[in-house]
Amino acid sequence: MENKQRGIIIFEALIRCLGDYIKISDEVLIKAAENEQYGDEIFIFLFHYQGYQIRISEGVLTAAAGNERRGDRIFEFLLRYLKDKTLNILLSQRP
C-alpha cells in the first residue's frame, strides 16, 4: 500500500473517531481543493462528514478552479450537493 493511500486511511479514521472535536477550516478545504491527486476524494469526504457546517469561501473556489486534474470533479460534486441540500455559501473577501 502506497504511503499516500495510508495517509487517507489514517485521515478518515481520525475524522471518524474524533468527530465533534475537529472543525474543518477554510485552510483545510483549500488544501483539499488544491490536491491534484486525491483532492476530489478528500473534499467529498469532508463534505459527507461536516457538510452542513462547511462554508465555501472564494479561496476554496479559486483553489478548485486552479486544480487541473481534479478541480472539475470538485465543482461537479458541489453542484450536485448544492442541488440536493440547502447549504449557504458565503463568499468571503480576503484583503
- Output the CA torsion sign for 39, 45, 51, 54: negative
8, three cell numbers: 487517507
Q: What is the pTM of this model?
A: 0.74
Q: How many residues does the chain have?
A: 95
Tell me the pLDDT tens digit for each residue of 33-90: 999 998 999 888 888 877 667 888 899 999 999 999 999 999 999 888 776 654 444 4
Q: Which of 53, 32, 52, 51 is nearest to 43 (CA)?
A: 32
